[in-house]
Amino acid sequence: MSETQPDYEVRPFAGLPSEADWVALRKLVPAATATAQLNAAHSAKPVQVVTLLPDLHPAWQRADGQPVLALQSAYASADPGLDLGQALELALKAEPGNPVTSIDPGAPSPRLQDMLDLDFDFTVTVHQTFEYWKDLDPDDADMTQAIEDASKAIDPTDAVPDTPSAYWTKLGGRPYLRWSLGIEETELLDALARLQAKRQAGVVDGAKYVGAFRSLGMIIPVWELPTGTEAADLTDPLGSFRERLNKALAVGDDLSVAERRARAGLVARSVTLR
């Protein structure tokens, strides 16, 4: 085990394509996959990026030889970008069909940003089960049962169509929107405060802003949605909301008294995820 721990990295996914999605998949989305690609210095082969692997393994080399990288694992230092780079490097060296069982936080390794093609399109597919585990090793007879058991814990989740990094979910029978907007925290809170002061912070009629998650250098607002709202219902309303938000972001004046009061309320309802 290495005794040298990396420095704390405020935004460990900065520079990656669709940084906001990397954050969401790391912290919020239970089951999803996406495809990244190694850069030319690391073979330029595709990498399957997933939220979770069996037994919280950090990475795997599938039976077909494709490396798989899990964003939610049991191994974490102060710099997830470094941890994930090491996990990916170990996956490339693993035997086909075998997992990477552990990493050594702080051991010399490239960061994830040093290994991936940073111009490659990163498109997320949300799943309602962990069926993508079947591709790890199709001959593993125990995998079907593992998928069934793990999938029972998944809260219904889906991506909002045509809306980057916006995720609908249902918790306790109530629908919610969690939107990883990829906007710097101070700017986003100021803009949301301007909308809140005008009672324009709802993303759809009847929606209620309930707070935000703060993690990995980003803040992710959360709204409770009217009963019966599905992900497909949100595309047009979120387009309209984004227009209002962009206008609020462009305002250069100091916050008014009412807006400062609204901002204090937003900050009070922010929760930091470690």
- Overall average pLDDT of the 247-254 stretch: 95
pLDDT at 106: 72
Domain boundary among 154, 184, 199: 154
- The whole-number pLDDT of residue 9 equals 80
Which of 154, 171, 196 corresponds to the end of one domain? 154
> Residue 208 sits in a domain of what CATH number?
3.30.1460
List all residues 6 or more positions away from 152 whose beta carbon is below 8 Å from its beta carbon. none
- Are 233 and 141 part of one and the same domain? no
Q: Is residue 5 part of a domain?
A: no
State the chain's mean pLDDT as an integer: 93
Residue 202's pLDDT is 94
Question: Is 115 domain-assigned?
Answer: yes
- Report d(CA 7, CA 105) in Å as an integer: 11
The sign one gets for the Cα dihedral 139, 54, 135, 101 is negative
The amino acid at residue 109 is: S
**Are 246 and 215 within one domain?**
yes
In a domain, 231, yes or no: yes
Question: Are both 148 and 41 inside the same structural domain?
Answer: yes
The mean-pLDDT minimum among 69-78, 136-145, 257-266 falls in: 69-78
Q: Is residue 117 part of a domain?
A: yes
Whole-Å CA distances, 164 to 24, 38, 77, 142, 154: 11, 23, 28, 36, 22
Q: Taking 60 as the threshold, does the pLDDT of residue 3 lie above it?
A: no
**Helices marked H in 56-165 — which ranges?**
80-93, 112-115, 143-151
Task: With respect to residue 10, please indicate whether it lies within any of the assigned structural domains.
Answer: no
Residues 6+ apart with CB under 8 A from 13: 19, 22, 23, 26, 80, 81, 112, 216, 217
Residue 163 contacts residue 235 (beta carbons within 8 Å): yes
Q: Per residue in 78-118, pLDDT tens?
A: 889 999 999 999 999 999 999 999 998 878 889 999 999 99
Q: At what angle do helices 257-268 and 185-197 cross, to 10 degrees?
A: 120
Say yes or no: 115 and 187 in one domain.
no
Q: Are residues 34 and 149 in the same domain?
A: yes
- Please state the three-class secondary structure of 13-44 as a single string: CCCCCCHHHHHHHHHCCCCEEEEEEECHHHCC
- For 166-182, the pLDDT digits (tens) are 999 999 999 999 999 99
Structural domain for 237, as ranges:
158-272
Same domain, yes or no: 165 and 127: no
Where residue 274 falls among pLDDT bands split at 50, 70, 90? low
Give the Cα separation of 249 and 252 in Å (integer): 8
pLDDT at 10: 85
My answer on whether 174 and 227 are in the same domain is yes
pTM of the model: 0.92
Our count of domains for the chain comes to 2
Within a domain: 78 = yes
The pLDDT of residue 120 = 94
* 165 located within any domain: yes
Q: Are residues 28 and 132 in the same domain?
A: yes
Q: What is the pLDDT of residue 205?
A: 94
* Co-location of 182 and 78 in the same domain: no
pLDDT value of position 4 = 58
pLDDT at residue 5, as a whole number: 59
- Residue that is last in its domain, among 101, 127, 154: 154
30 and 76, same domain (yes or no): yes
Dump pLDDT digits (tens) for 203-212. 999 999 999 9
* Domain shared by 194 and 124, yes or no: no
236 falls in which pLDDT band (50, 70, 90)?
very high
State whether 162 and 238 are in the same domain.
yes
